[in-house]
Amino acid sequence: MVTEKWKELADVKEELAQRDWFMGTSGNLAIKVSDHPLQFLVTASGKDKRKRTDEDFLLVDEFGRAVEETQLKPSAETLLHVEIFRKTQAGCSLHVHTIDNNVISEVYGDQGEVTFKGQELIKAFDMWEEDAILKIPIIKNYAHIPTLAHAFSEHINKDAGAVLIRNHGITVWGKNAFEAKKFLEASEFLFRYQLRLLEHKPYQLFKVV
């Protein structure tokens, strides 16, 4: 099981690396290996995620601690993945820093969320209603990771979702790696679309849906 999940996560990492979404070793990925006990693979801290190596991930427990003795350290945001896997049935969570998601989080940060309506890519989140509204919460970027994890946890109430951390990045989660990646790609599309729209229609920034 570990080998299978390792390859699945490595494939996702490789694809996201091709999109250049791991600037300066930023970002981290996690995939659940077992429920009882809760264990998951998470990216090792400080690694060049553009490369594929045998030290890309390590297995951690429900507290984000390495299961086996290793010199590798879990990514700094491992506690965010812990909250997701503890509270939901999600199987994979992804966290990336991009220029678009950082700018969006700053533009809408004071509102505490960014809202999308009438966009085709909302359907990626399984929202098919004619007037569906997608709201992605934005939380403060606490330097103290346990505090950040606590604030993040308040927005984990479904087995799939997305949360922006202001001027930091986005974390998405889903039932498996495919679904989580789908949410991430859709979110980044919506962010870029909204920023392009604001270039041409600045009033949209203040529009209340």
* Spans of all domains in the chain: 2-206
Q: Does the structure show a pLDDT above 80 at 207?
A: no
* Domain 2-206: CATH class, spelled out: alpha beta
Helices 177-200, 2-18: crossing angle, 10 deg rounding: 20
Res 204: pLDDT? 52
Average per-residue pLDDT in the chain? 93
Q: Are 105 and 164 in contact (CB under 8 A)?
A: yes
Residue 130 — pLDDT band, cuts 50, 70, 90?
confident
Res 208: pLDDT? 42
31-70 burial code (b ≥16 CB/10 A, e <16):
bbbeeeeebbbbbbeebebeeeeeebbbbbeeebebeeee
Distance CA 9, CA 92 (A): 9
3-state SS track over 173-204 = EECCHHHHHHHHHHHHHHHHHHHHHHHHCHHH
Res 25: pLDDT? 87
List, for residues 90-107, the tens digit of each pLDDT value.
Answer: 999 999 999 999 999 999
Q: Please give the residue that has the higher pLDDT: either 112 or 202.
A: 112
pTM, two decimals, is 0.92
List, for residues 147-171, the tens digit of each pLDDT value.
Answer: 999 999 999 999 999 999 999 999 9
Contacts for 142 with CB less than 8 Å, ≥ 6 apart:
148, 151
SS3 92: strand
* 42-63 average pLDDT score: 93
Res 206: pLDDT? 47
Pick the closest to residue 192 from 114, 111, 140 (CA basis): 114
Q: Does the structure show a pLDDT above 50 at 70?
A: yes
